Amino acid sequence: MTDDLPRRVLAPLEAALPDLEALYKDLHQHPELAFAETRTAAEVARRLTEDGFEVHTGIGRTGVAGVLRNGEGPTVLLRADMDALPIEEQTGLPYASTARGVDDGNDVPVMHACGHDMHVTWLSGAARLLAADREAWSGTLLAVFQPAEEGKGGAKAMLEDGLFDRVGRPDVAFGQHVASAPAGWMFTRPGVLMAAAEVMRITLHGQGGHSSRPEATVDPIVMAASVVLKLQTVVSWEIAATESAVVSVGSVHAGTAPNVIPDEAVLEISTRAFDDGMMKRVRAAVERIVNAEAVAAGAPKPPTIETLAAYSATDNDEAETNALTEVFREHFGAEATHLAPQITGSEDFGEFGRAAGIPSVFWLVGGADRDEVLAALNEGRFERDVPAAHTSRFAPILHPTLRAGVESLVVAALSRFAPPS
Amino acid sequence: MTDDLPRRVLAPLEAALPDLEALYKDLHQHPELAFAETRTAAEVARRLTEDGFEVHTGIGRTGVAGVLRNGEGPTVLLRADMDALPIEEQTGLPYASTARGVDDGNDVPVMHACGHDMHVTWLSGAARLLAADREAWSGTLLAVFQPAEEGKGGAKAMLEDGLFDRVGRPDVAFGQHVASAPAGWMFTRPGVLMAAAEVMRITLHGQGGHSSRPEATVDPIVMAASVVLKLQTVVSWEIAATESAVVSVGSVHAGTAPNVIPDEAVLEISTRAFDDGMMKRVRAAVERIVNAEAVAAGAPKPPTIETLAAYSATDNDEAETNALTEVFREHFGAEATHLAPQITGSEDFGEFGRAAGIPSVFWLVGGADRDEVLAALNEGRFERDVPAAHTSRFAPILHPTLRAGVESLVVAALSRFAPPS
Amino acid sequence: MTDDLPRRVLAPLEAALPDLEALYKDLHQHPELAFAETRTAAEVARRLTEDGFEVHTGIGRTGVAGVLRNGEGPTVLLRADMDALPIEEQTGLPYASTARGVDDGNDVPVMHACGHDMHVTWLSGAARLLAADREAWSGTLLAVFQPAEEGKGGAKAMLEDGLFDRVGRPDVAFGQHVASAPAGWMFTRPGVLMAAAEVMRITLHGQGGHSSRPEATVDPIVMAASVVLKLQTVVSWEIAATESAVVSVGSVHAGTAPNVIPDEAVLEISTRAFDDGMMKRVRAAVERIVNAEAVAAGAPKPPTIETLAAYSATDNDEAETNALTEVFREHFGAEATHLAPQITGSEDFGEFGRAAGIPSVFWLVGGADRDEVLAALNEGRFERDVPAAHTSRFAPILHPTLRAGVESLVVAALSRFAPPS
Amino acid sequence: MTDDLPRRVLAPLEAALPDLEALYKDLHQHPELAFAETRTAAEVARRLTEDGFEVHTGIGRTGVAGVLRNGEGPTVLLRADMDALPIEEQTGLPYASTARGVDDGNDVPVMHACGHDMHVTWLSGAARLLAADREAWSGTLLAVFQPAEEGKGGAKAMLEDGLFDRVGRPDVAFGQHVASAPAGWMFTRPGVLMAAAEVMRITLHGQGGHSSRPEATVDPIVMAASVVLKLQTVVSWEIAATESAVVSVGSVHAGTAPNVIPDEAVLEISTRAFDDGMMKRVRAAVERIVNAEAVAAGAPKPPTIETLAAYSATDNDEAETNALTEVFREHFGAEATHLAPQITGSEDFGEFGRAAGIPSVFWLVGGADRDEVLAALNEGRFERDVPAAHTSRFAPILHPTLRAGVESLVVAALSRFAPPS
């Protein structure tokens, strides 16, 4: 493939940017929690329909898939995720979110703190461009807008709801994520790019009572505190310094009044590692610790450990990734195409490839001010000054981020479609 | 005082019991959280009005006071508290609560798990009996129905809202609490009966982020866990075994998603002791520990420690208590009149006496099956088998508890009023 | 008994004080650890022999008992303990100890930090005075110098070694301890004066290795740390604020090199309470916690928990104590005779009475500067400024402490002997 | 260099093996702690003298250096370390150590648990072979036998004591360590092979007292426990999963009696990382935590943190390592020459190169049964079944380990000497 066809397909992008920017800001102002992305899904479906896609909605509750059959050739799946997070936005942006949502029955603030609004905009833009120039390629395009990527297993939900039965089986799957790196740069990595993850809810069962008489209770809050501290030893002690694993407690909730010791405490934790063996070791350690802490506390029954979600490592096909990296180098230039480091964040994008038995590639697209990122790195203040995903100040810059992500999807898809017949 | 007058005043009680039982069950099925006791207050006010009291409502938001001026003589304040707790009832009673309420913005279950429904019923019954036989006594009766006893400072709220300016200043204040002891037994104690308490909200400020990268955060959950464990040392280490103090964490809340480390964690704790010096030592220890833990964690700013409520010890006037104990012995018999142990629970009943500069007496009324209590104590299974206040299974038996608490208020009041002229 | 006889027997005390002071300073400079009190025992035996006692040595390894049979009448046991502690003296006294001893195979400093040198001096002085005026009383005097009171069970050692078979069975047993209270004041208490105690050695079994690879070990030091913190919850959580118990870790030892994680960690702890039921509850909690922590850590085998010593509460006979208190009031004056508080320290003095089935009384003798003690108490700096037993600065003042303790033993003994025939 | 000269120099090795084996067993049975390697040093010096070296002893207290000037050419430093560890040997070998030593004033068992006996034997053997065939090479050989490698800074001690002033400055430095890998295999790695390390002694200052009254103390044992647990968070929380650091507590010592709370607790910890930036981050975290814990505990003064030793990373010169790897491949075969993983153990071997401003190379020599190692790895029981260095069961097999290590030193040296003139 030369870069001529991509340039042709991408030609209308400049003119389309204002519309994409408006779409992005609208999504950003109207973030929706996992499996509640109804407004986002409706907008996405509307656009796909306009662009001539066969549109399937409600897959895996709120997922959307658009199919564009365009002659013989490979079926290429492009995927974006749609859900936002229960975080209160503090970016100060004019288009900052003030939205609220319901999470586990609680009213919570909602924010696109993980860039899924950007991902949706990218894929909407790319789908439109590819649909607009069907003579540039031959094959079938699957545009998949997934719900509930944030620890809720939206990819599996779509697959179990018969995604491939409805839209056909792809030959390759591509996906991308915005990153706190220089805007417009591409980061690829053959093999494992992102960690496997498991999300667990641990309910520690105590026996409540009046807070003036802890001796008449089995205090689940003291139990929870001890569990949280003991869990630190999984990484500090049980995993070699040259191995990688993360055990994080994302939430702890217990009690409704200061003068009542509650019956139970609920922890939500996530564990991460780059391979299954390590995931199993970590899981075993978590179980051992949690159960023993309950015994130490004299708990009336063992803790309940539920797996809320389990994501495999995002394992990029070596050959496809190397080929795509070449395509990116040619299109974006070598100075903007880099080897991604392994990162401990997780994705359920890999589920699509695994379910279909096909290769998949996931890459990162920089979305932060290049000069600021490089200066912050040089000056050792990157962690402090460059807002990361999942924080209340996360805010990709719009340009050239918007453009770059659309381009990467288009060139990736074109690199795998058959040439126009 | 002989026991003749009390017997005369109490004569209609037998016939009134069905009404009181109905009132109790209605209150039990409609528990209301602190400062939201509007339905309870309305019912109480309706009855007082029927009984000829001058009725003041909305004192301290939802408090109610009834005044019955009945000639020369002392003014006796009788107090009941009205609020319920954010606990999900699990008594299995036919009249169990399924109510919900809003606590700190959250939808929570509500239950009369501390017997305030019984207290309201007792005082309603006693007020009606005393109002019905005004020739048996001379003086002024103040029936005070207080909101928000459960750590929210309802007594102070009524006093600061001008209770005594509205209804006059009493000469003595009486109050009582149902206890997990043989139904119908009275427990009095001169001097300190119940502990002073302080309720604090501690907000630990961290810096949130993606749970896959704890190193880019200041994890408030780990901080909270360490604080909870370290707070154990206040009692285990800093307080002599022969001294008494309680430090309990009633709630801990942090985080909204398993894959996001939050910005902060909020602990609500209560501390208790029998004297002010110890309360100050405990407070100082809590502050020292909490602040140092934030430094250990590299927190971006010191924790915020707010005092939500502070109750002084319930310190019964020695002379009044001894006199009242004699009255109880005469009325209930010595076998049903006992010395109460010091208990670590707290009350804001003492605020009324302190504010007025008058003596006050608080006592306990047994509300559990006598045979079961005594057997459980003998067999060392009291803690396990006799449901305590502030638990989801707390359920006083109705008889003779209802009758006994009405009688105790009536005989206490009559013992201090002037004789009928 | 009038106070005439005591005054007569005590008449030579003034002249004997220089000798007693010299004895005290000599003992203080030559402290000996438990079961190694050979020099002390020899001096004690020498003096008893001089005074005409039948002397038994080597009872319970290093214990000494002197018998003075002086006609018909009760047998009165007076007891002193002889052992010192592995503490480095920092009193700055001219007669401060620089002695060393061997404790569990280690070379350690030794100090009379618990006043046993004073106890030995008192009993030596009292024995001499009573022996010198045999016409003042009738009966048998047993002067028992016990080894190894400090957690090593010296009383039991003497009893199991046949003390009463050798010297006869007493009718009453008296003992006393110097206290950080005004010198010369007596403190008595009927019933439980001092706590029961249990001393345990807990060995946590891990699996050592190179400190660069904790993941290849089961780290007993992390296990020990978690045990120590979790043990705090026994008192803070499992024991009511109105109950009393102490769980203290006196020593922790693990590891010989900073770059080797050791195979095991050894904790020595003591637990204390005023009754057997509480002792059992605490023991059960300790076992539950220690065992669960080993499971949490994945330890290769359960911890080893050894009981090194177990002392019952020091439970003073009510009648004997009340009688003795009267004797003290008469002799020392009411202003110098006080009710002792319950104290959490422990003693094995009670073993003598229990073994013989006789009443026993233990009391405290003030040994600190009165003005300083009272000022420190008033100014809230007692804990900081008045050196307590078991600290490196503990130093009773010699006068009137020496005299008072001799007098109390003499008047106590005389109060129980038969009058001279 | 062809392999002819090495073969010639190594020809007498077969016959020398019985002597080397005897030397090894003798050293193994007579292990000596850091800076106490007098017997080992004497034997080493005796052999060097026999072999014609100019011998310098007592460098850096117990270090030995032999110089063999053999014409023009580079100066090659070969280094072995001599000290053993305070571990009780449990290998069951006929030549197992029963030796004792004095460590920080304590009598401790001593064992060659880190293979330094093998290192000394190897270098003794290599020195003898090179000295025996001086016609095979030209240059100067420095055989350096270093004391106190185990966290005590023996390399620095020799350098500060003027090693290079006495024996001249080398052009390259070689060192090797026995590893739990197939005997006879060589493991090299350009760049950082082993971690930097810092060894600290942390003294936590409390205020002791009687263990029955913890409230009158500032308990250093509780403080130490909290420090140990909080230190776990440095790795679990503050260091990314994809970064490497180790924080281990090697020893904790506090208290001499179960019934005395001591004045202080002493922790010895080691920290490790592969670069200086991380070492600084870890050090800062340790200081922050330790100081804050003392504040939380109300300690009378801040902890004392002493650096006992600080080792830089073992950073192998890239060119020299690649060249040496080629030499090993040629001599030992590719199947026995492997890329070493980065390991978190530390070494002060790098000090020699850094001090001289010359390249240095450190490599690993397998010393375990090949079949057993490979089977254990395959079966996931390596950690459990193959005794690691610094454990009581560490025991290299003698053959071919002895031979391989001598050969590697000889071929390394010959590869850098000038050819015979």
Each residue's pLDDT tens digit, C182-209: 999 999 999 999 999 999 999 999 999 9
Q: B171 — phi, psi (to 5°)?
A: -100, -20
Q: Region D153-167: what's the mean pLDDT?
A: 96
What letter does residue D418 receive in the DSSP assignment? B
pLDDT, one tens digit per residue, over C287-308 is 999 999 999 999 999 999 999 9
Q: How many domains would you assign to chain A? A: 2
Say whether both D299 and D319 belong to one domain. Answer: no
Contact list in D for residue A237 (CB cut-off 8 A) is: 232
What confidence tier does D195 reach under pLDDT thresholds 50, 70, 90? very high
Q: Look up the CATH number of the domain holding residue A339.
A: 3.40.630.10
Query: Structure pTM?
Result: 0.88
Tokens of C100: 């060393």
Do residues A10 and A101 share a domain?
A: yes
**Angle made by CA atoms D178, D182, D188, in degrees to the nearest 5:** 60
Point out the residues of chain A with pLDDT beneath 50: 1
Residue D421 is assigned to a structural domain of this protein: no
C83 is catalytic: yes
Residues contacting residue A358 through CB under 8 Å, at least 6 positions apart: A169, A170, A171, A172, A173
Among D310, D333, D360, the domain boundary falls at D310
**Catalytic site residue from C32, C37, C51, C83:** C83
Residue A293 phi, psi dihedral angles, 5° rounding: -65, -35
By Cβ distance, the residue of D87, D213, D229 closest to C226 is: D229
Report the chain B residue with the minimal C-alpha distance to residue C342. B242
Contact by Cβ (8 Å): B317, B360: yes
Domain boundary among B283, B310, B337: B310
Kindly state the helix (H) or strand (E) to which residue C401 belongs, with its residue range. Answer: helix C401-416
Is B270 within the bounds of a domain? yes
8-state DSSP, C381: -
Tokens for A169?
């089986």
B417 and B137 in contact (C-beta within 8 Å)?
yes
Please state the three-class secondary structure of A206-246 as a single string. CECEECCCHHHCECHHHHHHHHHHHHHHHHHHHCCCCCCEE
CA–CA separation, D315 vs D175, rounded Å?
12
- C421 in a structural domain: no
Quote the CA–CA distance of B75 and B65 in Å, as a whole number: 13
Same domain membership, residue B76 and residue B120: yes
**Does D113 map to a domain?**
yes
The helix/strand/coil state of A305 is strand
CA distance B210 to A393: 12
Cα atoms in the 13 Å half-sphere on the side-chain side of B360:
27
Q: Which of A189, A184, A230 is nearest to A314 (CA)?
A: A189
Give chains near D: 3+ CB pairs under 8 A. A, B, C
Helix (H) or strand (E) holding C281: helix C276-296
Residues of D in contact with A241 (CB under 8 A): 195, 235, 244-246, 272-273, 344
Do A58 and A154 share a structural domain? yes
Q: Residue A152: CB partners within 8 Å, gap ≥ 6? A: A34, A35, A83, A308, A309
Annotated binding residues of B = 114, 116, 150, 177
Interface residue D287 vs chain B (CB under 8 A): no
Same domain assignment for residues D200 and D141: no
Find the DSSP H helices in D303-396.
Answer: 318-332, 350-356, 370-378, 382-385
Give pLDDT tens digits for A218-245: 999 999 999 999 999 999 999 998 899 9
Q: Is the separation of the CB atoms in A316 and A133 below 8 Å?
A: no
pLDDT of residue D145: 98
Contacts of D240 in chain A (CB under 8 A): 344
- Nearest-neighbour CA in chain B from D173: distance (Å): 38
The predicted pLDDT at position D257 comes to 85
Q: Answer whether D339 touches B (CB < 8 Å).
A: no
Chain D segment 176-235 residues within 8 A of B by beta carbon are 212-216, 219, 222, 226, 229-230, 233
**Could you give the CA distance from residue C358 to residue C316 in angstroms, rounded to a whole number?**
11
User: How does the average pLDDT of chain D come out, rounded?
Assistant: 95
**How far are the Cα atoms of D138, D417, D418, D419, D420 from residue D71, in angstroms, in the given order?**
5, 10, 9, 10, 9
What is the C-alpha to C-alpha distance for residues C261 and D50, in angstroms, rounded to an integer?
Answer: 40
- pLDDT at position C395 is 95
Say how many Å lie between the first and final Cα of chain D, rounded. Answer: 14
**D220 in Cβ contact with D371 (< 8 Å):** no
Task: Identify the bridge partners of residue A330 per DSSP, sorted by sequence position.
Answer: none
Among residues B309, B283, B306, the alpha carbon closest in space to that of B204 is found at B306
> Would the pLDDT of B43 be above 70?
yes
Would you state the pLDDT for residue D21? 98
Give the bridge partners for A44, in sequence order.
none
Alpha carbon dihedral B249, B253, B258, B261, in 10-degree steps, equals -100
Task: Return the higher-pLDDT residue of D323 and B309.
Answer: D323
In whole angstroms, give the CA distance from residue D350 to residue D356. 10
Among B211, B250, B255, beta carbon nearest to A252: B255
| A388: nearest CB among B209, B249, B308 | B209
CB of A414 less than 8 A from some CB of D:
no
Strand runs (DSSP E) across A90-239, as ranges?
A: 100-103, 106-109, 139-146, 172-182, 186-188, 191-194, 196-205, 209-210
Residue B421 maps to a domain: no
A411 with A326, same domain? yes
pLDDT digits (tens, 9 = 90+) for C303-344: 999 999 899 999 999 999 999 999 999 999 999 999 999 999
Task: Evaluate the omega torsion of the peptide bond into residue C420 and state whether it is cis, within 30 degrees of 0.
Answer: no
Query: In this structure, is residue C104 part of a structural domain?
Result: yes
Whole-number pLDDT of residue D27: 98
If asked whether residues A97 and A71 sit together in one domain, one would say: yes
- Is A378 in the same domain as A395? yes
Q: Which residues contact C18 (CB under 8 A, 6 or more apart)?
A: none
Per-residue pLDDT tens over the stretch C16-75: 999 999 999 999 999 999 999 999 999 999 999 999 999 999 999 999 999 999 999 999
Q: How many residues would you count in chain A?
A: 421
Per-residue pLDDT tens digits for B61-111: 999 999 999 999 999 999 999 999 999 999 999 999 999 999 878 889 999
* Record: contact C270-D255, CB cut-off 8 A: no
What single-letter DSSP state applies at residue C236? I
**Mean pLDDT confidence for D300-317:** 95
Return d(Cα C225, Cα C76) in angstroms, integer: 48
pLDDT at residue C378, as a whole number: 86
Domain carrying residue C344:
4-194+313-416
On chain D, the residues whose CB falls within 8 A of the CB of C215 are: 383
Residue B128 CA: distances (Å) to CA of A29, B9, B16, B20, B66: 60, 10, 10, 11, 11
Distance in Å, alpha carbon of D104 to nearest chain A alpha carbon = 27
Asked if residue C185 lies in contact with residue C227, where contact means CB atoms within 8 angstroms, the answer is no
Cα nearest neighbour of D380 on chain A: A277
Contact D233 B222 (CB under 8 A): yes
**C-alpha angle with apex D89: D83 to D94, nearest 5 degrees?**
105
Q: Are residues C180 and C166 in the same domain?
A: yes
Whole-number Å distance between alpha carbons of B397 and B368? 6
Contact A12, A129 (CB under 8 A): yes
Q: Which residue has the tokens 């090795």?
A: D13
**Cβ–Cβ of C390/D226 closer than 8 Å?**
no
The CATH number of the domain holding residue A211 is 3.30.70.360
Interface size B-D, in CB pairs within 8 Å, comes to 59
| A121 vs A19: CA distance, rounded Å | 10
Average pLDDT rounded to a whole number, residues B204-224: 94
**Which DSSP helix (H) or strand (E) runs through D18?**
helix D13-29
Domain shared by B251 and B220, yes or no: yes
Do B252 and B111 lie in a common domain? no
Please state, in angstroms and as integers, the Cα–Cα distance from residue D283 to each residue in A105, D290, D345, following that order: 44, 11, 17
Question: Can you give the pLDDT at residue D344?
Answer: 92
Whether residue A421 is contained in a domain is answered as no
Pinpoint the alpha helices (H) of A357-400.
Answer: 370-378, 382-385
Task: Compute the C-alpha angle A399/A404/A408, nearest 5°.
Answer: 170
Contact A234, A285 (CB under 8 A): yes
Would you state the pLDDT for residue B378? 86
Contacts of A289 in chain D (CB under 8 A): none
Q: What is the ipTM of this complex?
A: 0.86
Six token digits for residue D381: 């029981």
Q: Which of B295, B310, B325 lies at the terminal end of a domain, its last residue?
A: B310
Shared-domain flag, residues A169 and A213:
no
pLDDT category of residue C363 using cuts at 50, 70 and 90? very high
**What pLDDT score does B2 carry?**
54
Q: Residues of B with CB below 8 A from C232's CB? A: 229, 232-233, 236-237
Crossing angle of helices A220-233 and A276-296, rounded to 10°: 140
